[in-house]
Amino acid sequence: MTRLHNDCFIRALLRQPVERTPVWMMRQAGRYLPEYRRVREQAGSFMSLCTQPELACEVTLQPLARFRLDAAILFSDILTIPDAMGLGLSFAEGEGPRFARPVRSAAEVRALPVPDPEDRLRYVTDAVRLIQRELGGRVPLIGFSGSPWTLATYMVEGGGSREFRKVKGLMYQEPQVMHELLGKLAEAVGLYLAAQIAAGVDAIMVFDTWGGVLSAAQYREFSLAYAQQALERIGLDRLERKVPALLFTKGGGQWLEAMAGAGYDALGIDWTTDIGEARRRVGDRVALQGNLDPQALYAPEQSIRAEVERILESYGPGSGHVFNLGHGVWPDVDPGRVGAMVEAVHEFSPAWHR
């Protein structure tokens, strides 16, 4: 593997000493950048952009040319696994993802294949290999997947949802079918992330975007248990190199203690949880990532700087903190405000690592 010139992000995830708090941003390669929009237009469609490794590489690296970020994240989508399962994924402009063939019965679940990542998802691992060559060790590359529960929500609903009636209906009415689906997805997610690691990513992240719509008992049974299964399927303890794993459950602040026991090295938290309180609750069991409200990036630069300073102060001294937004950057944010956030982290955070 290429030696990392800047491993601040990796050291923070492992709670090792750092000189400053590392910073990156969820959805940092995306529509808020005019250079991304130009490549997206060239590709013709979102999925075309995702499935062309050269273009995926280009947009992955774009934010690093603008901002002093401490990590790159693979440009892809959380729904690549269900797409590779043959569910007919499409993206309608302004409407989000849609599946032509939703999964809502035991027979449909049993018919689902577990995709070979180096076959149906080869475009992802090819992109990883290309990005790592282009990065040349400048910063770590993050690979990722949707969590089994979050993937299941889209697969059962047939797309995005606000009420989650279909997926929760299946969970309540036929829990054994839901468990079968989640077990198959945990295997697929584990294989997919293992393939990304073999291709060269330096860290992995599981996005549990919709874990927060569940009750406490349901979260443990239907979301966290399968995020843990996926992690175990990877076999990180058998690797020759340490690859930190990060779990982000949007709306999951009330379950931090349970999440900290799931085997991940770090937890992402959204802006609704105070990061200092989160640190007190998890102790030294895991690192924490977060958690500026993405809407704060619409504020004047001085307000952004003040929010960055407040979050750093709330976390307090020492390592184990990766600065990030509490969710992804919004597409109409001024890139200059992103730059203000990044520079504020660079300016203010060294004082907390002396």
Positions marked catalytic: 27, 31, 40, 77, 154
Task: Find out whether 127 is annotated in a ligand binding site.
Answer: no
Token readout for 229 is 């299964």
Cβ density class 309-341: b for 16+ within 10 Å, e for less: bebbeebeeebbbbbbbbbbbeeebebebbebb
Residue that the structure tokens 């295997």 belong to: 187
Task: Find out whether 346 is annotated in a ligand binding site.
Answer: no
**For helices 148-157 and 165-173, angle between their N-to-C axes, nearest 10 degrees:** 110
Residue that the structure tokens 């990180």 belong to: 236
Closest C-alpha among 221, 198, 95 to residue 152? 221
Task: Find out whether 3 is annotated in a ligand binding site.
Answer: no
β-bridge partners, 158:
none
Token readout for 126 is 């090819």
DSSP letter assigned to residue 353: G
Task: Find out whether 321 is annotated in a ligand binding site.
Answer: no
Task: Find out whether 30 is annotated in a ligand binding site.
Answer: yes
Task: Find out whether 83 is annotated in a ligand binding site.
Answer: no
Task: Find out whether 227 is annotated in a ligand binding site.
Answer: no
Task: Find out whether 31 is annotated in a ligand binding site.
Answer: yes
**For helices 175-199 and 148-157, angle between their N-to-C axes, nearest 10 degrees:** 120
What are the DSSP calls for 312-332, one per residue?
HHHH-SSS-EEEEESSPPPTT
Could you check whether the bond before residue 6 is cis, i.e. omega within 30 degrees of 0?
A: no
Closest C-alpha among 205, 239, 243 to residue 4? 243
Residue 311: partners with Cβ closer than 8 Å, 6 or more residues away: 275, 290, 291, 292, 323
Token readout for 293 is 């409200």
Task: Find out whether 27 is annotated in a ligand binding site.
Answer: yes
Rounded Cα distance, 246 and 227, in Å: 11
Question: Which residues are annotated binding-site positions?
Answer: 27-31, 77, 154, 209, 327
Question: Which residues are annotated binding-site positions for substrate?
Answer: 27-31, 77, 154, 209, 327
